[in-house]
């Protein structure tokens, strides 16, 4: 990541209440540069410019960090090329993380980025949440993230059983999310979830609004 790219990202992040240190910018730059090189050989993301990757993937992934806890266990389901997991862990270095990803090329990429950034608190697991739940932490997770994985109701059904009491599921949605929320009402009830917070936002130089939905799991005795 060159100087102007770092300046853009730092400025954009500050607009969302995220103050990135030089060390954090360096780690995000390693992720970006490695993704850019891998994309020349294998399609890890459909974005064709570094600026779009910085804005639509890196920045977008960091936005929920301002409302998430600093410590705990994070599960990133369907990590792909590391979004939102890697930027979130860089923003929240006190988290320990499991990245669950079924694609072998993407798991290889994730392991390479982790090696280069020395983010040793991340463990990559090759598998699918609906088939390989036995590979996950039996103590459950305080944060579960899912970005562009499946329909909201399916995400909640898969993820909620692995969520600790008072833990949160973070889901990224476009502007019209009410229908997805209505369609998920029964799963939300069955899994003892509630919509804890909605974070509406618009990425720089874009018109369409996005929303982060944060669901919290209630304690058994509530």
Share of the chain above pLDDT 70, in %: 99
Nearest to 97 by CA among 130, 124, 63: 124
Q: Where does 3-217 sit in CATH, by number?
A: 3.40.50.150
DSSP 145: E
Across 50-75, average pLDDT:
96
Q: Are residues 60 and 210 in contact, defined by beta-carbon separation less than 8 angstroms? A: yes
> Does residue 222 register a pLDDT over 60?
no
Position 221 scores a pLDDT of 46
Q: Is the dihedral of CA 54, 60, 66, 68 positive or negative?
A: negative
Q: Which residue has the tokens 């909620």?
A: 160
> Does residue 11 register a pLDDT over 90?
yes
Question: If residue 217 lies in a helix (H) or strand (E), which one and from where to where?
Answer: strand 210-217
| pTM of this structure | 0.93
Q: Which residue has the tokens 């009830």?
A: 189
> Does residue 98 register a pLDDT over 60?
yes
For 128-173, what is each residue's pLDDT tens digit?
998 988 889 888 999 999 987 778 999 999 999 999 999 999 999 8
DSSP labels for 22-84? HHHHHHHHHHHHHHHHHHTTS-S----SHHHIIIIIIIHHHGGGGGS-SSEEEEEES-TTTTT
Other beta carbons within 10 angstroms of residue 15's beta carbon come to 10
| CA pair distance 111, 124, nearest whole angstrom | 7
Across 113-125, average pLDDT:
97
Q: Which residues touch 44 (CB under 8 Å, ≥6 apart)?
A: 35, 38, 80, 81, 105, 106, 109
Across 172-186, average pLDDT:
87
Q: Domain-by-domain residue ranges, the chain?
A: 3-217
Across 52-73, average pLDDT:
96
Average pLDDT, the chain: 93
Q: Is the dihedral of CA 169, 193, 94, 15 positive or negative?
A: positive
Other beta carbons within 10 angstroms of residue 189's beta carbon come to 10
> Does residue 24 register a pLDDT over 50?
yes
Position 220 scores a pLDDT of 60
């Amino acid at each position: 990541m060159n100087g102007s790219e770092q300046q853009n990202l730092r400025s954009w992040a500050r607009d969302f209440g995220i103050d990135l240190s030089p060390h954090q910018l360096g780690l995000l730059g390693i992720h970006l540069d490695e993704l850019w090189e891998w994309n020349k050989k294998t399609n890890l993301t459909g974005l064709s410019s570094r600026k779009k990757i910085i804005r639509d993937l890196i920045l977008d992934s960091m936005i929920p960090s301002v409302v998430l806890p600093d410590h705990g266990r994070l599960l990133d389901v369907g990590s792909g090329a590391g979004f939102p997991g890697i930027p979130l862990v860089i923003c929240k270095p006190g988290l320990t993380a499991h990245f669950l990803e079924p694609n072998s090329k993407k798991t290889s990429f994730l392991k390479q980025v982790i090696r280069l950034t020395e983010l040793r608190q991340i463990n990559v697991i090759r598998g699918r949440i609906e088939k390989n739940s036995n590979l996950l932490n039996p103590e459950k997770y305080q944060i579960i993230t899912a970005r562009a994985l499946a329909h909201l109701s399916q995400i909640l059904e898969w993820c909620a059983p692995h969520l600790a009491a008072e833990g949160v599921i973070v889901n990224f949605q476009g502007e019209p999310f009410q229908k997805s929320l209505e369609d998920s009402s029964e799963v939300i009830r069955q899994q003892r979830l509630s919509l804890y917070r909605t974070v509406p936002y618009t990425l720089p130089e874009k018109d369409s609004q996005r929303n982060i939905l944060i669901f919290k799991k209630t304690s058994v005795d509530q």
